[in-house]
Amino acid sequence: MQRFRNILLIFVSITFFQSNLFSKGFVLSKDFTLFTSRNLEGYLKPIFTTLEQSLNNSLFGTSLPDGKFRFTLNLSVCGMIIPDEHKSFDAEVPPGFFDSNAAKVAQYRNGEIYRYVIKPNIQPTIYGGSSTPIFSAPQNHNYPDSTYKTIAYPEGLHIDFMAGLPVLQSIIETPLRNEIRFRIYVEPTGDETFVYFTIGLNQRFDHLFDLFGLDKDKALSFHFALHRMYWGDFFDLTSYALGINAMQRWGNLCGYLGFQFENMNGFFKAIRDTTGFREEIVDSPFPELREARPIIVSLSTFTKFQLKGGFTLSFLFGFLNLELSFATQPMISAGFGLFIGKNRYEK
């Protein structure tokens, strides 16, 4: 979680050069004109997809719930292959750029010069590459046409493989043939506290219908998890997953397959410091920046479904787990668990 908090801080610091954390919220300098809300949302959506996928990792598959009570400490790491579709987005363009009476525009793309704005206006996300500026010549000097000047966009970090949020969780197996998972991280930062918690349930149900008869090495379960993450009143994230999974045990080895529906929503809000706003005009071609409107970013994910499969190898004191997931960002995950108290073979 410390690493993730660092990454969050990095993205905040790289996008907001002049910002301060006050109890009243996240305050940006009015000179900050790199992103509109929509462009920041598009730029960051793939990294929030990575976050969402990693939150919804390791929700099942670490053991076959056979009704014994056991407490396990589990640590999993994951990494995502970033597909090309997550490396660019359709960026917002100032309204006057589509009106040749207000501004004439040009851009250089793929070795050609275009005298109009190409839609979609493909610009890189945080995982992408170079951006493409759009040159603009205002056709008259009256406001707001005079503000329709050349714009440029932030660039990506050229990332093809991204490590996800590591999962450190406690797993409690109960006699009800289920597993309850907990994750929590709390850190006071300035006047606010960063809070993250997850609660998950993996409930076996095949025995209720006697689906496998005397075969004790097969299990069918459904799983659910809810994740909450918030930081003051400017960052709030909720994610959940709901799915079904099947397991087969061969001695110390378990194989499993699962399918889950998942989603994420939330927001990031920041206000702009408007001190001296009347004296110093911000002549950005984007009305949102010109008028120093607050930044409000909706957090969402590309991933709605994951198909997961993996193996767990149990030892006397713990287990090792390897998992592959098919999702919008294909994921590989590895982890280990330590049994606390009774070991696997103790009755």
Partner 1 sequence: MRNNKFKKILYFLISWLLTSCYSDVINSFEQFSFQIPFYFYVNYLDKSIPDTSKIFANLTNYSEFEKNRQRIASSEIVQFNYWIDSLVFSNNVAFNPNVDSLIIENVRFVLIFAKPKVGKINPKDSTDFEEDTTLPRFVLGEFHNLDVRDFYRKPHHIKIISNEISQVLTEVVRSRPYFYLESEYGKVLGQTTDKKYFALVNVRFDVVIRFTISAF
Structure tokens at 55: 């939150």
Closest distance between partner 1 and the C-beta of residue 125, in Å?
A: 13
Closest CA to 265 of 223, 225, 228: 228
Tokens representing 181 are 């998972």
Answer yes or no whether residue 344 interacts with partner 1 by CB under 8 A: no
Binding to partner 1 by residue 137, rule CB under 8 A? Answer: yes
Residue 201 has φ and ψ, to the nearest 5°, of -135, 130
Instruction: State the residue for tokens 């009015």.
Output: 30
> What part of residues 101-130 is at the interface with partner 1 (CB under 8 A)?
104-108, 113, 115, 130
Query: In this complex, which beta carbon is closest to partner 1, that of residue 159 or of residue 241?
Result: 159
**79 touching partner 1, by CB under 8 A:** yes
Give the Cβ contact number of residue 280 at 10 Å.
10
**Residue 227, SS3?**
strand
One character per residue 296-325, x = contact with partner 1 (rule: CB under 8 A): --------------------xx--------
CA distances to 27, 58, 173 from 342, rounded to whole Å, are 51, 22, 12
Total residues contacting partner 1 by CB under 8 A comes to 45
Q: How would DSSP label each residue in 139-151?
A: SSSSTTGGG---B
Instruction: Please identify, using beta-carbon distances, which residue of 302 and 315 lies nearer to partner 1.
Output: 315
Q: How far apart are alpha carbons 153 and 288 in whole angstroms?
A: 16
Does residue 221 contact residue 39 with C-beta atoms inside 8 Å?
Answer: no
Whichever of 104 and 218 has its CB closer to partner 1, that residue is 104
Give the integer Cα–Cα distance in Å for 329 and 66: 32
Residue selected from 133, 187, 190, 291 as contacting partner 1 according to rule CB under 8 A: 133
Among residues 19, 139, 203, 248, the one that binds partner 1 under rule CB under 8 A? 139
Tokens in use for 263? 């989603």
The least CB distance from residue 161 to partner 1, in Å, is 8
Report d(CA 90, CA 37) in Å as an integer: 13
Told to check if 168 binds partner 1 by CB under 8 A, we report no
Taking the least distance from each CB to partner 1, the nearer of 131 and 202 is 131
- Out of 31, 99, 236, 273, name the contact with partner 1 by CB under 8 A: 31
Query: Residues 81, 118, 152, 186: which binds partner 1 (CB under 8 A)?
Result: 152
> In sequence order, which residues have a C-beta less than 8 Å from that of residue 341 and are 6 or more positions away?
70, 71
Q: Which of residues 99, 145, 155, 236 is near partner 1 by CB under 8 A? A: 155
CB 212 within 8 A of CB 205: no
Smallest gap from Cβ 205 to partner 1, in A, equals 33
By beta-carbon proximity to partner 1, the closer residue of 167 and 237 is: 167
Instruction: Please report whether residue 8 would count as binding partner 1 according to CB under 8 A.
Output: no
Q: Which of residues 185-244 bind partner 1 (CB under 8 A)?
A: none
For partner 1, give the closer residue by CB, 75 or 246: 75
- Residue from 69, 71, 98, 157 that binds partner 1 (CB under 8 A)? 157
CA dist 52 → 140, 241, 326 (Å): 47, 10, 14
Closest distance of CB 159 from partner 1, Å: 5
CA atoms within 13 A on the CB side of 196: 19
Residue closer to partner 1, measured from CB, 158 or 304: 158
Q: Is 292 helix (H, G, I), strand (E, B) or coil?
A: coil
Interface positions with partner 1 (CB under 8 A): 3, 6-7, 10-11, 13-14, 17-18, 31, 34, 75, 77, 79, 104-108, 113, 115, 130-131, 133, 135-139, 149-155, 157, 159, 162-163, 166, 316-317, 334, 336
